[in-house]
Amino acid sequence: MRMSVIGCGYLGAVHAAAMASIGHDVVGIDVDERKVAALGAGTAPFFEPQLSELLAEGRASGRLRFSSRMADAAGAKVHFLAVGTPQLPGGHAADLRSVDAAIEGLLPHLRPDDVVAGKSTVPVGTAARLATRVSDSGATVVWNPEFLREGWAVHDTLAPDRIVVGADPDAAGAHAVDVLRDVYATAVEAGTPFLVTDLATAELVKGAANAFLATKISFINAMAEIAEASGADVGLLADALGHDSRIGRRYLGAGIGFGGGCLPKDIRAFAARAEELGRGEAVGFLHEVDAINLRRRERAVRLVVDALGGLVFGRRIAVLGAAFKPFSDDIRDSPALDVAVRLRGLGADVVVTDPAALDNAAAAHPQLGYARDRDDALREADAVVIVTEWDEYRRDLSPEHAGGLVRGRIIVDGRNCLDAAAWRAAGWQYHGMGRR
């Protein structure tokens, strides 16, 4: 099937490449000509495992191309809307200007029976508004939210755990749902649930999923605060809770909290939209979820300061990690960089290292020191902080090896990803988040 993907950031570029890999004829469209040139040359402009291979495959097959001209979307049967919806400057609501601009640019090129499939995370009610806007063209709007995890985006696109399509309950909506079922035929035939809802429910699914995930993460971090005050161990607590089939162990890892370009801004936008609908009290707890998350960054900094006896100025601190999560170079609202910047603000000599995100970090925070090699960052450090749980730090770094490089054997495990007993046995002063 011929399709366009409008917006080629993390979501759109992966979606375009993945759709081409399963046999569709795809054009990706973006206003950033440098990004278009890179993608067209088969180069991923950001770090995402397996994406470069898919881009090269799509380019070689002739099924994938990229353009900065909206006119190149003409003739596609399905137009996926994958533009960004960042947080509004000075507010918490979602900024929909890129969504509206994309629809305005697409309108002249729509034909009757075309399907506009929204994938961007938007406030509930947006799809109905856009459907009215495109109705004169004869095209149909459906909403098809994404549930991608950065670092696993290719896998999650090709083998999703569910496909949600929201549509109006009329003949045009039913036809559009059938078109989307054909788009995802490979996944549907493999047993992926294909859920059909109304437009509003499809929009709410993504916001509700992120709100629940953020709440679960902040819940265990709130328990870490109680554990620290009482002498309990939040890791053992999480293990015990995880055996309850109603709760489960996933995302009950206490640490410095979540970040990235989705979860923080999405829960704020979700709460802002609830306020607009007159139901702000229903999600008032999300404000505390956000506050708990931000407090954990402060707690990690305090652990470093206390471990150094309150004398931080001029001390060399190795910060292991810059991306907000492993297998990504995304530094948007990164807890790792937040901790690094706070320590630098206290006068520490901070040296950051990361396998993928170093260039992005250096561009955003030139006041920090950087080392491409992990061991160079560790050398002569007075303290070490693990803030992104890359395998290079949590699995491949031994306490004995690190001990031969540093000046002071102090380590703050901001992700609770290390074997505390092993590090202590090697002579390290180990500090975890909510761990004894």
Active site residues: 262
**What are the tokens at 297?**
């960054």
In order of 8, 13, 55, 56, 240, the CA distances from 44 in angstroms are 10, 8, 8, 10, 42
Write phi, then psi, for 137 (nearest 5 degrees). -80, -15
Q: How far apart are CA 278 and CA 276, in angstroms?
A: 5
Greatest Cα pair distance, the chain, in angstroms, is 72
**What are the tokens at 419?**
């074997």
Q: How far apart are CA 236 and CA 192, in angstroms?
A: 34
Q: Write the CB contacts of 31 (distance below 8 Å, at least 6 apart in sequence).
A: 68
Q: How far apart are CA 88 and CA 97, in angstroms?
A: 10
Question: Which amino acid is present at 224?
Answer: A
Q: How far apart are CA 15 and CA 146, in angstroms?
A: 10
**What are the tokens at 332?**
């948007």
**What are the tokens at 229?**
């005050």
What does 177-243 look like in DSSP terms, one character per residue? Answer: HHHHHHHTHHHHHTT--EEEE-HHHHHHHHHHHHHHHHHHHHHHHHHHHHHHHHT--HHHHHHHHHT
